[in-house]
């Protein structure tokens, strides 16, 4: 007979799960692009969708994942929802990525995309 008990996970296990979920939310190229954009300031879903090259629906799905992990926050103005970076931890990781891989501006990304499509 198996002697394993079905006790609740330890606090350490919960912490590791939280960390994994946080990193998983950031671990998608489109969501990472969105976070880099939001590090520059508040932006609407429409603007983010155009910048990232996704439909508004797909962009909203990615934003929902980021919101679930409390990486972004929302503000509504009439019919428009604006997003901004909420998490200091996410900003620290973005800064670390910039230190490792080099920082970039939106203009530099546009230039790289234009060259790669020619």
User: Is residue 89 in some structural domain?
Assistant: yes
Judge whether residue 13 has pLDDT over 50: yes
User: Is residue 72 in some structural domain?
Assistant: yes
* Cα separations in angstroms, 79 against 33, 44, 45, 76, 104: 24, 11, 11, 7, 31
How many structural domains does the chain have?
1
Question: In this structure, what CATH number is given to the domain that contains residue 37?
Answer: 1.10.10.10
Note the pTM of the prediction, 2 decimals.
0.76
Span 27-40, pLDDT tens digits: 999 999 999 999 99
Phi-psi region of 4 (alpha: psi -120 to 50; beta: other; left: phi over 0): beta
User: Is residue 8 in some structural domain?
Assistant: no
Distance (Å, rounded) from C-alpha 22 to C-alpha 51?
A: 23
Span 54-74, pLDDT tens digits: 999 999 999 999 999 999 999
Structure tokens at 4: 């394993």
Domain range spanning residue 55?
A: 13-117
Q: Which 3 state secondary structure label does DSSP give 89? A: helix
């Amino acid at each position: 007979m198996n002697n394993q008990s079905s006790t609740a996970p330890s606090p350490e296990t919960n912490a590791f799960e939280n960390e994994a979920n946080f990193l998983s939310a950031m671990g998608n190229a489109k969501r990472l692009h969105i976070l880099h954009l939001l590090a520059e300031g508040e932006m609407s879903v429409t603007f983010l969708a155009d910048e990232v090259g996704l439909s508004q629906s797909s962009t909203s799905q990615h934003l929902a994942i980021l919101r679930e992990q409390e990486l972004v926050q929302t503000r509504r103005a009439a019919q428009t929802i604006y997003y901004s970076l909420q998490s200091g931890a996410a900003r620290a990781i973005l800064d670390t990525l910039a230190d490792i891989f080099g920082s970039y501006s939106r203009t530099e990304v546009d230039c790289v995309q234009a060259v790669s499509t020619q």
